[in-house]
Chain A
């Protein structure tokens, strides 16, 4: 397929994908580091390069409400937010997924207040982890661009909304080489918009329906069970779309990405932009003859339980790196997911949790290497631990 390589920031790459998808409605409210993304896209709207109706609303709660209305009508909808904006949206996120509307939300990951920070961590996205939105994490601008194009199709096949995450500033404002498709390839891949894409579009006046009705105790459980069953079908749908995407990009995106895990005794796990640094740490340790590997979670919700269990089946020790704390005495969200996934493995590894990169703190390979050392010493019984979770990078 015809592609070109250009230098783009993560926000520019995402805006380019949005231009090429040429969707129907974008209801948005600005918040750093998402503001720039929608600024780029607003230019495309103002220049008439897309057919999108851009709705400027008074807050993120309303942004998602307008997206829900537009999606229920039958429009193809993409919006974006970050940090506190995602927090303000949460009530309506549950409504969007309960109504089974294929909305795409870009979360340019940002920390939550207080203290106020506009910089990256994953606390905002973790607010959405039980909302039955499909959640995909992107390592770099290229993945953000690819994930965004795939997510439109995943959402419409699964009839569930999708969150595409990429790290604020680290990915959103850093320039990288990004391989861009020509417009036609993208438009052919996502297919035409139109009310036929969803089962009950409100604009189909020949088939009037009610969205958002109440369900009394005699119905609510059945409604949620249907949502539960259908959400588990997302695994197959994700792979189906990933295979179709491979035919245009040559790149296959699985739920997870493994790096030198085959013979690894100690494996580190992370999501988002830090995975490149984690691979550097693995390379440095491998050069010392240490058997280590790295695992990236790309599909965060639904969580790739089987794949993670298999990838860790021969590991002795696992370091889970969380870019958000849960403050619950157990550990970060990813730590709990990974621990649950391997609980029924025959060989259960020692798992330790490290909180890193909060509020945009840079992470370096030396810090990841120290974490590998710590896990190895814990596993060998040389060191002990009071808690399952500890912080990296704290000044003491």
Chain B
């Protein structure tokens, strides 16, 4: 966790003076739909990695790894752009309920 600044500690104009400050925003908590990856269909073309607006698709040596769900907002752009239909947007609630069962 990070400490909240007091009113007089905020830089004038509410600017953000530190680089990489978006790391502290757990934007994954907003997600309603989760991109579920079908590894059999995925060809590692990396189109999803190019389009992901939140840099939430980790790639190493030209291989796509599981989406980073700390930051993935579930926007679904990856699923729309995937030429191989390898991503399915599944409601988080369904996944949570299945986990409970």
Chain A residues packing against B (C-beta within 8 Å): 98-101, 159, 199-200, 207-211, 213, 215, 218-219, 222-223, 225-226, 229-230
Contacts and interface: CB of A to CB of B under 8 A. Distances in A.
B13 A99 contact: yes
Contact of B12 (A200, A210, A215, A219): A200
B100 interface: no
Contacts of A209: 11, 15-17
A38 B71 CA distance: 48
Contacts of B96: none
Contact of A210 (B5, B7, B10, B21): B21
Contacts of B21: 210
Contacts of A229: 7
Interface in B20-71: 21
A98 B4 contact: no
Contacts of A211: 13, 15
A223 B12 CA distance: 9
Interface of B: 4-8, 10-17, 19, 21
Give the 7 A-B residue pairs with the shortest CB-CB distance, closest first.
Answer: A100-B13, A210-B16, A222-B7, A223-B14, A99-B13, A225-B7, A209-B15
Contacts of A218: 4
A173 B33 CA distance: 61
Contacts of A100: 12-13
Given A208-B19, A210-B21, A99 B4 contact: no
Given A199-B11, A209-B16, A223-B7, 4 more contacts: A98-B13, A159-B12, A213-B16, A223-B10
Contacts of A200: 11-13, 15, 17
B5 A222 contact: yes
A218 B21 CA distance: 15
Contacts of A207: 17
A209 B20 CA distance: 10
A219 B6 CA distance: 9
A209 B11 CA distance: 10
From A159, A210, A223, name the one whose CB has the most chain B CB atoms within 10 angstroms. A210
A213 B15 contact: yes
Contacts of B17: 200, 207, 209
B10 A99 contact: no
Nearest to A220: B14
16 contacts: A98-B14, A101-B13, A159-B12, A199-B13, A200-B11, A200-B12, A200-B15, A207-B17, A211-B13, A213-B14, A215-B14, A219-B14, A222-B5, A223-B7, A226-B7, A229-B7
B16 A222 contact: no
Given A208-B19, A210-B21, A99 B11 contact: no
Contacts of A159: 12-13
B40 to A, nearest CB: 39
B16 A226 contact: no
A208 B4 CA distance: 21
A61 B21 CA distance: 30
A226 B8 CA distance: 6
Nearest to B16: A210
Contact of B6 (A98, A99, A199, A222): A222
Contacts of A99: 13-15
From B14, B16, B17, B21, name the one whose CB has the most chain A CB atoms within 10 angstroms. B14
B15 A219 contact: no
From A100, A199, A222, A223, name the one whose CB has the most chain B CB atoms within 10 angstroms. A222
Nearest to A210: B16
A222 B10 contact: yes
A145 to B, nearest CB: 30
Contacts of A222: 5-7, 10
